């Protein structure tokens, strides 16, 4: 019965080693050592012939039981090791949910474009078409077609950035008026606005910037009068600043309009009584406008005996400053996040 004792011994050793395994690799090594083809247990199985026939059945069973016991201990231990590994991993990867999250910065429309969108919406609501202009213009469109020939003193009003003798950075969106009329194939009615940037050699300060936005408006049709201009701008101002705002037209001069006017809006701050905002006058200037000059109509291919029109040019930042109480035009271009954020919350 020496072999039966041997089986018991193998089993005891195997179970002991399995119990002592610290990780999966060690466990696999023990498993292979005891259950592989060349193991002691297999050798005993091969020695079956030397066992007396009467004892063979019980000996075979003893070996099988031993094998099963080792397998069972192995899978038990395997489960325990895997559970321990997982527990260690969870412990190591613990997330501290009490930490405050990182602030996410969400981008938004720049106030400059936001105000353009608002103004554009109002004019589109009145049936204006939106045209795109160009920042780099020819002297021809920026000046000549607008009744400002080369030696005209009005050129001094707008200190121009010239690129070449005939190319320049647009000083006014009025260049878009000329484009609209010249490019209108059937020379029929026009009702358009053109938002865009303009450039002048100004010294930057609180109210001046060498770069600023304008929205040009142009209406050309038969029988268009200054009353139409006034009605259009009144509606715009009321939609932009509120029902209570009024406008007033003051006589002015632009080479491309006749008559020309400057348009003021009643001061929202003091309601017209006079304050710092309106320099005591009760009114704040917001734009230049007028009836399209017959020379301009003619140069752009329209017969001034048949057609008339009005045009206006409104400063984008000016409107934003009044609407949102922004104190310095330069803020639009400095990209200071605090300003941009501040503006959003208003």
Q: Interface with ligand PHE by CB under 6 A: which residues? A: 172, 174, 254, 257, 288-290, 311-313
Joined tokens for residue 81: 């090791």
Q: What are phi and psi of 192, to 5 degrees?
A: -140, 155
Of 111 and 196, which CB lies nearer to ligand PHE in the complex structure? Answer: 196
Of 39 and 257, which CB lies nearer to ligand PHE in the complex structure? Answer: 257
Minimal distance, residue 100 CB to ligand PHE, in Å:
50
Minimal distance, residue 327 CB to ligand PHE, in Å:
23
Of 174 and 232, which CB lies nearer to ligand PHE in the complex structure? Answer: 174
| Residue 283 Cα to chain centre, angstroms | 36
Minimal distance, residue 210 CB to ligand PHE, in Å:
14
Minimal distance, residue 262 CB to ligand PHE, in Å:
8
Q: Residue 216 in contact with residue 338, Cβ under 8 Å?
A: no
- C-alpha 21/C-alpha 28 separation (Å) is 9
Of 172 and 266, which CB lies nearer to ligand PHE in the complex structure? Answer: 172
Q: Residue 215 in contact with residue 314, Cβ under 8 Å?
A: yes
- C-alpha 219/C-alpha 292 separation (Å) is 9
Minimal distance, residue 313 CB to ligand PHE, in Å:
3
Of 282 and 290, which CB lies nearer to ligand PHE in the complex structure? Answer: 290
| Residue 131 Cα to chain centre, angstroms | 23
Residue in the shown chain whose Cβ atom is closest to ligand PHE: 313
Minimal distance, residue 109 CB to ligand PHE, in Å:
25
Q: Residue 198 in contact with residue 284, Cβ under 8 Å?
A: no
Q: Residue 341 in contact with residue 109, Cβ under 8 Å?
A: no
- C-alpha 214/C-alpha 289 separation (Å) is 12
Q: Residue 70 in contact with residue 18, Cβ under 8 Å?
A: yes
Of 41 and 218, which CB lies nearer to ligand PHE in the complex structure? Answer: 218
């Amino acid at each position: 019965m020496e072999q039966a004792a041997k089986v018991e011994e193998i089993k005891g050793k195997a179970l002991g080693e399995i119990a002592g395994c610290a990780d999966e690799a060690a466990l696999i090594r023990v498993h292979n050592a005891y259950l592989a083809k060349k193991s002691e247990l297999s050798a005993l199985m091969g020695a079956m012939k030397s066992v007396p026939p009467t004892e063979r059945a019980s000996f075979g069973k003893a070996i099988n039981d031993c094998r099963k016991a080792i397998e069972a201990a192995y899978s038990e231990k395997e489960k325990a090791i895997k559970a321990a590994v997982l527990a260690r991993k969870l412990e190591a990867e613990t997330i501290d949910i009490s930490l405050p999250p990182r602030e996410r910065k969400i981008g938004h429309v720049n106030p400059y474009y936001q105000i353009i969108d608002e103004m554009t919406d109002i004019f589109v609501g009145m049936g204006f078409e939106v045209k795109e202009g160009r920042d780099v213009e020819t002297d021809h469109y920026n000046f000549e077609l607008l009744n400002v020939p080369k030696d005209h003193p009005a050129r001094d009003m707008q200190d121009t950035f010239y690129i070449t003798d005939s190319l320049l950075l647009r000083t006014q969106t009025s260049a878009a008026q000329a484009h609209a009329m010249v490019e209108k194939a059937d020379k029929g009615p026009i009702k358009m606005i053109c938002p865009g940037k303009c450039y002048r050699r100004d010294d930057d300060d609180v109210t001046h910037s060498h770069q600023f936005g304008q929205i040009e408006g142009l209406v050309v049709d038969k029988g268009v009068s200054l009353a139409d201009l006034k009605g259009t701008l009144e509606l715009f101002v009321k939609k932009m600043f509120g029902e209570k705002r009024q406008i007033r037209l003051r006589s002015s001069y632009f080479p491309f309009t006749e008559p020309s006017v400057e348009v003021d809006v009643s001061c929202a701050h003091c309601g017209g009584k006079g304050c710092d905002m309106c320099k005591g006058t009760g009114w704040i200037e917001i734009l230049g406008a007028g009836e399209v000059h017959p020379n301009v109509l003619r140069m752009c291919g329209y017969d001034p005996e048949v057609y008339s029109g009005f045009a206006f040019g409104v400063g984008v930042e000016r409107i934003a400053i009044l609407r949102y109480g922004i104190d310095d035009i330069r803020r639009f271009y400095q990209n200071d996040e605090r300003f941009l954020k501040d503006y959003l919350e208003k």
